[in-house]
Every structure is written in structure tokens, then in C-alpha cells.
Amino acid sequence: MIQDRYHYLAAKHVVALAHEFKLAPTEVFEVATFYHHFDVIRENEIPPPSLIVRVCDSMSCRMAGAENLIQELDQKFDESIRVQRVPCVGRCQHAPVAVVGQNPVDLANPVKVQQKSELNDTIPSLPDYVDYNAYRTAGGYQVFQSCIKGERQPKEVIEVLKNSNLRGLGGAGFPAGMKWDIVRKFEGPRLLAVNIDEGEPGTFKDRYFLESDPHRFLEGCLIACWAVGIEEIYLYLRDEYAACRTLLLKELEALKNDPPEKLPKIHGHATTETALCCRGRAFWSPNPGAQS
């Protein structure tokens, strides 16, 4: 929130934040300097310009000409706009990619990036996707309803998951059905943490399905909660996916206003100020009253 508001984190912010969280300033500093979306400014440094153009220089974009793009933008822009090299922004199929503020420029070239920057066109537009009404009309949330009504049993659903051979893609390839089964046997309370992050070049599956069919993902979360006996859901969304955040907040609100069954708590941190500005490693919520 501090970064979103001031466009940087001053040393005094880091100290104040450490005080708020009862942490050592070094711990806040470590996190703040790990993510390129945070700009930590020391006492005598000049804050960066508020408009940042991020250019992905990971594999796919590099092969598609990111280096030339960065050099040309560096020459084009004066000090009122900062050009920053960043790792994969999850749009590799459109390489090379630049992001003006939070607005991605696919198949970027200097002219397109300059036009958006001069217009201060920094907010991404939402893609076409299956919204709440369309999902319900097509039979969405009926599986979740059948679970709650007792027409299915948790063990049966976990068995289906096991037989599907669905595995995590975080590196360990751990079978999802086995994970659900193991966690279910632990004493509660149990929590579901959904890690919507992907930063490896060539990986943009999360963004793709969230931007096309978000309720299929949400119904999966609800079924997982029911099958495993989970009370609360925490969602983490990477900072790069600003359109996803807007879309998910909107659709979670629609779900909350017309729930197919009683919902578990889906919560974290969201304020009006940050409604369009998700910040890496922050949790967020469709329910401003449910702050973590």
C-alpha cells in the first residue's frame, strides 16, 4: 500500500512498517528489496519517477527483441519515465512484452509503448471471460452444491482426484489427491492457501485460466474446502496480474452476493486504495470486513 501510494518505500517507511509488524527493520528490508515492484529509497536518494515502464527481459522476450526495445526506450524517454528490466511477466506468448504502469503492451515496440506512456494509460482493460451469471447458467457450482447436499462424499471426490493423476507443478510434482487426503487427516483448523504465482518464462497457465474462467477455479477451491474440512481460504496473486485482480475481486463479490451454498471465509487484505494495485505477497479479500 505504501508503494502504491508513494511509488517508493522510503527508509522511514521501512522502519515504521517494522514497528507496526513488530519485526526487525532488516526483515522488512529483505522482503522489500527482493521484489522488483518495490523501490526502496535511502535517506539521501531521489525518489524514482511515478511512471515506470517495465520491460520483460526473460528468455521468450529476449529472443523476441527485448534488448533492442529496452535500449530504444532508454533513449526515447527522459527522466520523467523510468524503464526497468524485469523478469517474466507471464505473457510469454505475446513476447516481447512491456508494462506501462500496470497496463501490459503485448508484442511491444517503441511506438506502442511511447503512446501508452504519453497518455498515462496505466490501467489494464479486462479480457472477455465467463462471468458469474454465465457460469451459473451453464451449470456452474452444481458440483459444489451436490457436495454440500451430501450427494457426494469427501472420500469419493478425493479418490476421483487421485485417479486423475493431477499433480502440483511447483517442482515436486506432488499428487493433489494425496495432498488432500493427508491434510484432511490432520487436526484442524485447516487453511487453504492458493498460490497464484508463476514467474518461469513460458508459464502463464494461471493467468490464462483466471482471465478466461475464474469461477471454475473458485468452485475448485470451494470443493477442496468441503472435501478437506477447510475453514478459510487465503489467495495470493502476483503483482504482475493486475487485470486478474480486478476481475477476481469483481467475481468474488458476485459470488458472495448470490452464494450457491454457504461459503467459507475467503480473506486477506484489500482496500479501496489498492483495489487495482495488487502487491506481491499480499493476501486480499472480496470482503473488506475480513482483513487478516
- The residue ranges of DSSP E strands in 165-219, in sequence order, are 191-196
Say whether residue 158 binds ligand FES (CB under 6 A).
Answer: no
Write the burial class of residue 289 (CB in 10 Å: 0-12 exposed, 13-18 middle, 19+ buried): exposed
To ligand FES, the closest distance from the beta carbon of 239 in angstroms equals 14
Choice from 52, 89, 233, 277 touching ligand FES (CB under 6 A): 89
Is the bond preceding residue 96 a cis peptide, omega within 30 degrees?
yes
Distances 32 to 3, 42, 237, 268 between C-alpha atoms, Å: 10, 12, 17, 19
Burial 242-280 (b: 16+ CB within 10 A, else e): bbbbbbbbebbebbeeeeeeebbbbbbbbeeebebbbbb
d(CA 50, CA 62): 26
Please name which of 98, 93, 95, 91 lies closest in space to residue 115, comparing C-alpha atoms: 98
Stretch that binds ligand FES, among 6-14, 52-60, 137-145, 216-224 (CB under 6 A): 52-60
Say whether residue 97 binds ligand FES (CB under 6 A).
Answer: yes
Say whether residue 61 binds ligand FES (CB under 6 A).
Answer: yes
Closest to ligand FES by CB, 90 vs 286, is: 90
Closest to ligand FES by CB, 59 vs 196, is: 59
To ligand FES, the closest distance from the beta carbon of 63 in angstroms equals 9
CA distance from start to end of the chain: 15
To ligand FES, the closest distance from the beta carbon of 18 in angstroms equals 33
> What x-and-dash track marks residues 105-134 binding ligand FES by CB under 6 A?
------------------------------
Write the burial class of residue 80 (CB in 10 Å: 0-12 exposed, 13-18 middle, 19+ buried): exposed
Q: Which residues contact 13 (CB under 8 A, 6 or more apart)?
A: 2, 6
Strands 265-267 and 283-284: unpaired
To ligand FES, the closest distance from the beta carbon of 56 in angstroms equals 3
Say whether residue 91 binds ligand FES (CB under 6 A).
Answer: yes
Choice from 60, 102, 103, 117 touching ligand FES (CB under 6 A): 60
Q: Which residues contact 174 (CB under 8 A, 6 or more apart)?
A: 167, 168
d(CA 38, CA 8): 6
Say whether residue 98 binds ligand FES (CB under 6 A).
Answer: no
To ligand FES, the closest distance from the beta carbon of 89 in angstroms equals 5
To ligand FES, the closest distance from the beta carbon of 188 in angstroms equals 39
Instruction: For the segment 199-218, give every residue that binds ligand FES (CB under 6 A).
Output: 201
Closest to ligand FES by CB, 61 vs 222, is: 61
Say whether residue 59 binds ligand FES (CB under 6 A).
Answer: yes
Stretch that binds ligand FES, among 12-20, 33-41, 69-77, 90-98 (CB under 6 A): 90-98
Say whether residue 191 binds ligand FES (CB under 6 A).
Answer: no
Say whether residue 56 binds ligand FES (CB under 6 A).
Answer: yes
Q: Could you list the residues that contact ligand FES (CB under 6 A)?
A: 56, 58-61, 88-92, 95, 97, 201
